[in-house]
Structure 1
């Protein structure tokens, strides 16, 4: 498993492998747990979140439920779609997902991703 960091190449956002492990160390220091279980299987996210995800999951039919523990990669979320997903979430929720959360675990399931997004939404902006 590889962590990622946000970089910009020629003005374009890229997610680059973090071979130093710095992102993981920072996430540990910040206590960012993106792997918490979702035992009740009831999605707690809003319609915008699900709409954004569904638009990028080629392997999920329109009438199929999206469960918190479903593997997003198996539903068609690849690296290019992950970048688009990141940008759409940041724009929709007026957040910036920090480098510490740019890990495969954050984007592994809808539940893990919503946990990260909802946690950032509840953080008060610094004055």
Structure 2
């Protein structure tokens, strides 16, 4: 059995990510089960409609440059006032601004990118996680 090359594995992951349900696009449906007499409301998340030419961006020939997330920083672009819901990503000395449709998407993207940055370093090089630090009560000193 032949193992897929890293490039084809990355391409298949990228395709799966494009076609996977987006956790912030919500659709509410109502269904009735044959065992239950009452209708229950369920909340499902569906991907937004895919871009018609999304497949052309998945080709290796369309790749201009790759960036590593090692040492990258991500946060809200507070100094950028031209548009709302913009995040700033700094990676490998370059800066990227991403505009998102709403505040929920901004929070989702920042958390996802920061989680990816946290696991991008080797285990030996990662800093130990620190919990939240709370000030001590004056009587405890």
| TM-score, scaled to structure 1 | 0.28
Bigger Rg, which one: 2
Q: Which has a greater percent of helix?
A: 1
Relative contact order (C-alpha < 8 Å, sep 6+): which is higher? 1
Higher strand residue share: 2
